Amino acid sequence: MPSHPELFAEPRRAIVVGCSGGIGAALGRGLEAKGFAVTGVARSSATTALPIDLTSEASVAAAADALADGAPYSIIIVATGLLHDDRVAPEKSLRDLSADTLLRYFAVNAVGPALLAKHFVPLLPKDGPCRFAALSARVGSITDNRLGGWYGYRASKAALNMLIRTLAIEVGRTRPEAICVGLHPGTVDTGLSQPFQRGVAPGKLFSPDYAAGKLLEVMAGLSPADSGGCFAWDGERIQP
């Protein structure tokens, strides 16, 4: 996919939410290598990043206020997501469904990015090219679902894709050069995918730096006509 120079135009300021994760950290490094001043935002208190709790709108609003210094950011990337932790794991069948698990998936994978959009999109410039992107997943495609299972993760990512589509329509009215998209990084060798790597095809388990580099290439090749879509690491548009 060809690189569009406007991705690297002024203002060369970016925000990476989830910068303490494998892909988020790699995206930050990739943007810095392209001359961006990158501000990291993360849940982890073990980093120097601005702290945030995606499940609290007050926390998201406070983070946005702390970043609103008058100068816009041309790129905002939400590199957060939940597949498993000590509280939830992908459901294999209906027997595994629970309201608490479903609500947890939606809170982190859909509601959190939506709240970030609400409070962070005003930090983008009203004139000129800018991008808001959130990490999604191919399993969020309803059309592509042929295996079943993973109810909460699939549904929350499908919801995220719809939220991004809706966001793109509204943002396009006031920021005609803005691009709002979901990004599928492939299977990346991080803690999120670690328990599920056994069936990954040879050559399809990516390092965080490789995946981040490909995603930045994809972002550079998009135009406002692509806003609202979800794109894989190789530039393929993922069907809803």
What pLDDT sits at residue 201? 74
Number of continuous H segments (helices) and E segments (strands) in the chain: 6, 9
Which of 22-31, 58-67, 196-205, 221-230 has the lowest average pLDDT? 196-205
What pLDDT sits at residue 46? 62
Under a CB-based contact definition with an 8 Å cutoff, are residues 180 and 171 in contact?
yes
Which of 10-19, 53-62, 111-120 has the lowest average pLDDT? 10-19
Higher pLDDT, 40 or 5: 40
What pLDDT sits at residue 2? 44
Nearest to 152 by CA among 192, 102, 193, 111: 102
What pLDDT sits at residue 160? 98
What pLDDT sits at residue 9? 64
CATH topology of domain 5-232: Rossmann fold (3.40.50)
What pLDDT sits at residue 45? 66
Average of pLDDT values for 179-203?
Answer: 83
Which of 110-114, 162-166, 204-208, 209-213 has the lowest average pLDDT? 204-208
pLDDT, averaged across the chain: 93
Which of 81-90, 118-127, 173-182, 192-201 has the lowest average pLDDT? 192-201
Higher pLDDT, 97 or 1: 97
**CA–CA separation, 176 and 172 (whole Å):** 5
Tokens of 37: 């001043």
